[in-house]
Amino acid sequence: MKSASVVSAPAASRRWVGAAVPRKEDEALLTGRARFIDDLAPLPGLTFAAILRSPHAHARILGIDVRRALALPGVRGVVTGREIAEVIGPIASVVRAPFAYYPIALDRVRYVGEPVAVVVADSRYIAEDACELIDVGYEPLPAVADLASARAPGAPLLHDNTTSNVISRRTFRYGDPESAFAAADRIFEFSYSYPRYASTPMETFGVIAHFERAPDRYTVWSNFQGPFVIQPLMAGALRVPGHRLRLITPPASGGSFGIKQAVLSYIVLLAAVSRKVGLPVKWIEDRAEHLSAASAASDRLGSVAAAFRNDGKLLALKFHNVANMGAYIRPPEPASLYRMHAASNGSYAVENIAVENELVVTNTTPVGLNRGYGGPQFYFALERVMEIAARGLGIDPAELRRRNFIPADRFPYRAPAGAVFDSGDYPRALDELLRIADYEGLQRRREQARRDGRLFGIGFAAGVEPSGSNMAYVSLAQTAEERSRGERKSGANASAVLQVDPSGQVTLRICSTPNGQGHATVAAQIVADALGLDPADIDVVTDIDTLTSAWSIASGNYSNRFAAIVVDAVAKSARQVADKIRLMAAEALDATPEEIDLSDGYARVRGSNRALPFRKVAARAHWDPAGLPPGTAPGIVETAVVSPPLLGSPDVKDRVASATTFGFVVDLAAVEIDRATGILHIEKYASVHDVGTQLNPKIVEGQVHGGFAHGLGAALFEELAYDEQGNFLSGTFADYLCPTAMEVPPLDVGHIETVSPANALGAKGMGDGSSMLTPAAIANAVADALGRDDVTLPLTLQRVWALANGREYERAAPGRRATPRRTRVSGGALNGGGEIVLSAPIAEVWRRLLDPNELSAIVPGCRTLRQEGNDRYVAEVTIGVAGIRGTYGVTIDLRDRREGQSVRFVGKATGALGFGTGSGLVTLQAEPDGRTRLHYEYEAEVGGKVAAVGQRMLGSVVRFLLAQFFDALEHRIHGRRRAWWHSLRAWRTLLRG
């Protein structure tokens, strides 16, 4: 990088960059003063929204009756999908899809959790109450919840006007893969399915939307994180010119890891709601909504083949990737499939590559950005097949990788699919890894363990970490021909505005919307070095207001873009200010600008004691413009906008320089598995990174540890699970298990540094790397320990146990066709039975059981119950499952009625929070003492939110409700409450049932 005529601070004079400077952000966060989206009330008269969501994976909406909801005091409006569609259009996508994406269902729901209506009320409590009063008629349709069933011939289709759920198929070829495969000594193949998971930031989505007229315009506060290339798409959907959709982010954001990109759907939805109800509206997502319906990393089916020479030389790779987009394609998808594409060679010097990509829609939540974005899936394929090949070739897996790494003297390296790797020394990083992990010692332990009959395994994973994405890479989803018809895209703009005010105080504005990565601290370090100030004296604004910020399409926080690109803009703006200060100081101190050093808050003439305080020099630009050197603009506001020149458009051969910097990560995992229990113990985890210059080593370390925890969660615990009918099963943090401090093992981190030529600091983007490679490294270690290759994530206790004991893992494997089954493991199905002795004769019990007045008194939570005809009851019942309280419309039919002996109740329940069907057979028997023995058996299935949150509690809730029911029945018989020990006894009987 050349600098302007004035010499910038050379690397050697850096004082702050590279130091573990404490974070500027911390004190506000540690004392509870930082402000997040739900802390803001930027407008008077805010109202609060709650969203009614689909309990069905796939259903036609027959009708929505909002009258009862509207009648609830405090409700200010209810808006349905159809009404929303009056004021918005669909949200555009990158690929031409044969269907539209709206942020709310119009007449068909396609995944559990899809918004159906929005209630606006004086409080969120009231809004949630009102959701329950909306009556939606659904006609359930067959659903496809996983990739294999969605792709199967004759599968139910999600969208009209389509002939398949596979909505795009693209093939790519680089070099000559066919010949390379034909010439290979050995070919290794690996097929896999990769689960769906999400990084679940601790703060959920939040939006405050405000519509105003004359002219029509929207202002929306939200914890959106970019990429702001989506802003024009949102404005388009809202049918206003870009500048009439003003987006504002709060000063603090509680994590994102990519996920908060998906806030975009709610920005559009709530903006439209605000317009419809004519009020400013705040919506804060709850955790159950977040888990079921926010976003996720795309789950995949895939296969990979690798062609090798006997000596271990990798000749060619062939990938088949099938990516689950969820029910719609929400921008920037299908980018997850293309993020790694230009680097399909991983860290290896392999010239021949074939890729086939398929995008599939299923009855699941739309996917989007998530930490590592496409990397974890890609490396699971590549690094698993490398490990399999190593075993097949009889070459140590570390050595096999070393033989194929891009040699250190070939950087910058142009990868076959177009990525330009800026710098690297992969063999040196591997050496460092083997050293810090004590690979030899681990190998000895493995030998010893195996001699003892124990299961011990070691696994590696290595890969590049693309950072600072080229905005154009997503268009690889289109053919070169399609691309040539559209507007050309390229680059990745970043801006920095550095301002020195009349009192000489420095403020930097960058559009990087961090979610905890410490951008303000690092940016201040860079500016402090350039201006000779202390970082503590430099204020940094990182949030965006699209009306006043120097934003552009690449703004935001994703693809590790801060350290790859944003820092370059910061450094440039700081250089511009430094140049100006030097010019003014030179004039005042009678020297040349080249002689001026900026340090310790002073502008000094080098080699003399002439100096002026920085602030004083800077203030002159405001107070005395006439006295400035000729040609110097008054004031100090310097804007720098950069886009890495390397990032061009994709060429006709589908090659693209997809990212600005390519860090490198190489990991080793060693595990021991207890065959008897399935407990997996991580004996060693070591990770070596090349992030170029470490701008702030503390922050780098934090990112490595955090990324590792995400990778670990993906490897061992986390899955957003659906059953075969598309019921969502992971709706609470009790069902979706994030690693806690007890599960995260010690992590040994090492670094090597190859300075990046891509920016002025020599830094590379980082933060994703560990999350990309940890799942593959752990899977490799487990495969090594067990001596089997069919290792599927997450490696839960049950799964590891099954693998270690040669059993089938019992949760339905993806790929099985959806057929309703009645087992406890298939989502919301449950069954049971039991008996109880009631202290009344048969005739009385029989009468009470069938009397609507009696029933309405004894059915738990019964609000109304009436008889329709002889054999049908219609009721409204309120029941809570796992804290999810809901009201259900229930119909019960009496069948197989044998007077005074037995009867079958067949029921159906539907409510805002879920639905269920069930049947129960009740048989009565006379006891010798005149009492009645009641025997019952039931089976039921539930779906919707209840299935998502209640999994682990459903059985006990049903037993509890039955206990209440019989307790009440007995109470009616006696006309008084039974003693508590009676209840307890009934309970015990029932719990055994």
Partner 1 sequence: MSVQTCLAGQKATIELTLNGQRRSGKAEPRLLLCDFLRHELQAFGVHVGCEHGICGACTVLVDGRAVRSCTQYAVQADGRDIVTVEGLAEAGTMNALQRAFAKHHALQCGYCTPGILCSATHFLRETPAPTEREVRDMLSGHICRCTGYASIVAAILEAADAVSRGA
By CB under 8 A, name the binding residues for partner 1: 22-23, 25-27, 29-36, 38-39, 125, 199-204, 252-257, 286-288, 515-518, 698-699, 701-702, 705-710, 732-734, 738, 740-742, 744, 746-747, 882-883, 949
User: Does 676 participate in binding ligand FES (rule CB under 6 A)?
Assistant: no
The candidate with the shortest Cα–Cα distance to 586, out of 611, 569, 554, 564, is 611
Q: Are strands 352-360 and 314-324 parallel, antiparallel or unpaired?
A: parallel
For residue 545, give Cα distances in angstroms to 123, 263, 317: 27, 16, 45
Q: By C-beta, is 224 or 602 nearer to ligand FES?
A: 224
CB closer to partner 1 out of 398 and 778: 778
Q: Counting contacts by CB under 6 A, is residue 713 touching ligand FES?
A: no
Q: What span, in angstroms and rounded, lies between the C-alpha atoms of 772 and 339?
A: 12
DSSP per position, 514-569: -SSS-HHHHHHHHHHHHHT--GGGEEEE---BTTTS---TT-SS-TTHIIIIIHHH
**What residue 594 binds from ligand FES, partner 1, none (CB within 5 to 8 A, per partner kind)?**
none
Measured distance CA(335)–CA(766) in Å, rounded: 19
Q: Three-state SS for 962?
A: helix
> Rule CB under 6 A: which of 579-618 touch ligand FES?
none
Minimum distance of ligand FES from residue 255's CB (angstroms) = 5
- Nearest CB to ligand FES, comparing residues 346 and 516: 516
Residue of 18, 81, 255, 593 interacting with ligand FES (CB under 6 A): 255
Size of the site for ligand FES (CB under 6 A): 3
Which of 252, 800 has the CB closer to partner 1?
252
Question: Quick one: 204 or 352, whose CB is closer to ligand FES?
Answer: 204
Q: What's the closest the beta carbon of residue 288 comes to ligand FES, in angstroms?
A: 12
Helix (H, G, I), strand (E, B) or coil at 757: coil
CB of 30 to partner 1, least distance (A): 4
Query: Could you tell me the two tokens for 217?
Result: 């315009």
Q: How far is the CB of 371 from ligand FES (least distance, A)?
A: 13
Q: Is 22 helix (H, G, I), strand (E, B) or coil?
A: coil
Nearest distance, CB of residue 514 and ligand FES, angstroms: 11
Strand spans (E) along 813-944: 829-838, 862-868, 872-881, 884-898, 902-911, 914-926, 932-943
Distance between CA 948 and CA 718 in Å, rounded? 15
**Binding partner at 628 among partner 1, ligand FES, none, C-beta below 5 to 8 Å by kind:** none
Pair 439, 685: CB distance under 8 Å = no
Q: Which is nearer to ligand FES, 830 or 949 (CB)?
A: 949
Alpha-carbon distances of 704 from 258, 711, 773, 785, 802, rounded to whole Å: 16, 10, 11, 26, 32
Shortest spacing between CB 32 and partner 1, in angstroms: 2
CB of 26 to partner 1, least distance (A): 4
| 970: DSSP letter | H
The residue (of 202 and 214) whose beta carbon lies closer to ligand FES is: 202
C-beta of 510: minimal distance to partner 1 in Å?
18
217 touches 244 (CB < 8 A): yes
DSSP summary character for residue 833: E
Residue 736 Cβ vs partner 1, minimum distance, rounded to whole Å? 10
Q: Specify the residue, 55 or 516, whose C-beta has the smaller distance to ligand FES.
A: 516
Nearer to ligand FES, 295 or 649 (CB): 295
Q: Phi, psi (5° rounding) for residue 35? A: -115, 125
Decide whether 284 or 840 has the Cβ nearer to partner 1: 284
Q: Does 516 bind ligand FES (CB under 6 A)?
A: yes
Q: Which does 835 bind (CB under 5 to 8 A by kind): partner 1, ligand FES, none?
A: none
In angstroms, give the least distance from the CB of 393 to ligand FES: 43
Please report how close the Cβ of residue 36 comes to partner 1 at its closest, in angstroms.
7
Estimate the crossing angle of helix 439-451 against helix 426-437, to 10 degrees. 50
| Angle separating helix axes 954-974 and 842-850, nearest 10 degrees | 120
Positions in 180-209 near ligand FES (CB under 6 A) = 202
List alpha helices for 452-506, DSSP H.
480-485
Q: How far is the CB of 731 from partner 1 (least distance, A)?
A: 9
Q: Which is nearer to ligand FES, 255 or 920 (CB)?
A: 255
- Helix 397-404 to helix 375-393 angle (10° resolution) is 110
- Write the CB contacts of 187 (distance below 8 Å, at least 6 apart in sequence): 181, 305, 306, 307, 308
Position of minimal CB gap to ligand FES: 202
741 makes contact, choosing from partner 1, ligand FES, none, with CB < 5 to 8 Å by partner type, with partner 1
Q: Which does 706 bind (CB under 5 to 8 A by kind): ligand FES, partner 1, none?
A: partner 1
What is the helix (H) or strand (E) element at residue 427, kind and residue range?
Answer: helix 426-437
Binding site for ligand FES (CB under 6 A): 202, 255, 516
